[in-house]
A and B are shown apart, each in its own frame.
Chain A
Amino acid sequence: AQTVTQSQPEMSVQEAETVTLSCTYDTSESDYYLFWYKQPPSRQMILVIRQEAYKQQNATENRFSVNFQKAAKSFSLKISDSQLGDAAMYFCAYRELTGNQFYFGTGTSLTVIP
């Protein structure tokens, strides 16, 4: 089974600063999808960003961007101009191109300091 590893259980960032959350994964597939989900205190799971492995260009959504390093099997999330509302648990997830199952990491709890 594929594994997704988030090695930072907790991170903190000053408001308006930039923070990077790490994610690595293990797979023998060449094509797959990667996702970052945000879970605020409300516990709702919200899709932040998605990356297709066959695309070399890193995905970007407003203040959120990823650094996808396919050879290193690394998929980090960069949050720029951090806002108080960004405080949440962030989960990295992997899915095979034709698979039915998502594999989630254990999450990184992000604190934003005013």
Chain B
Amino acid sequence: DSGVTQTPKHLITATGQRVTLRCSPRSGDLSVYWYQQSLDQGLQFLIQYYNGEERAKGNILERFSAQQFPDLHSELNLSSLELGDSALYFCASSVSPGNEQFFGPGTRLTVL
């Protein structure tokens, strides 16, 4: 157990819908990262926050957005969902940007 929690574990929804994925970092970690892993693919970096502020942006679609709250938990919002958005979404946290990351168990999103 890495100490990073993600909810929900599984999510099934329809195209066009909007969902919110939640992540709670390890105690003491200020930095949160979001990744997308499609079937049999590597991890694609989406976005990173540090102490509430966006620090880095990767291959994140405009339909996706994220934020980190004062209590340091983070949410990833996915809207106008498409079939191709079906993937495993990981959250990771670290003490500070660039330190080794500890991953949550992931949220498996299925868009039907």
Contact = CB atoms under 8 A, between A and B. Distances in A.
Are A and B interaction partners? yes
Interface of A: 33, 35, 37, 42-47, 50, 91, 95-107
B55 to A, nearest CB: 5
B7 to A, nearest CB: 15
Contact of B45 (A46, A96, A102): A102
Contacts of A107: 42
B102 A43 contact: no
B52 interface: no
Interface residues of B, number: 24
B103 A45 contact: yes
Interface of B: 2, 31, 33, 41-43, 45, 48, 50, 55-56, 58, 88, 90, 92, 97-98, 100-103, 105-106, 108
Nearest to A95: B98
B42 A105 contact: yes
Q: Give me the 3 closest cross-chain CB pairs, A-B, nearest first.
A: A45-B103, A100-B56, A106-B42
A45 B90 contact: yes
Nearest to A106: B42
B98 A100 contact: yes
Given A102-B45, A105-B42, A106-B41, A97 B98 contact: yes
A100 B55 contact: yes
Nearest to B90: A45
A50 B101 CA distance: 11
Given A45-B92, A45-B103, A95-B98, 18 more contacts: A42-B105, A43-B88, A43-B108, A44-B2, A44-B105, A45-B43, A46-B2, A91-B43, A97-B98, A99-B56, A100-B31, A100-B56, A101-B45, A101-B56, A104-B42, A104-B43, A106-B42, A107-B42
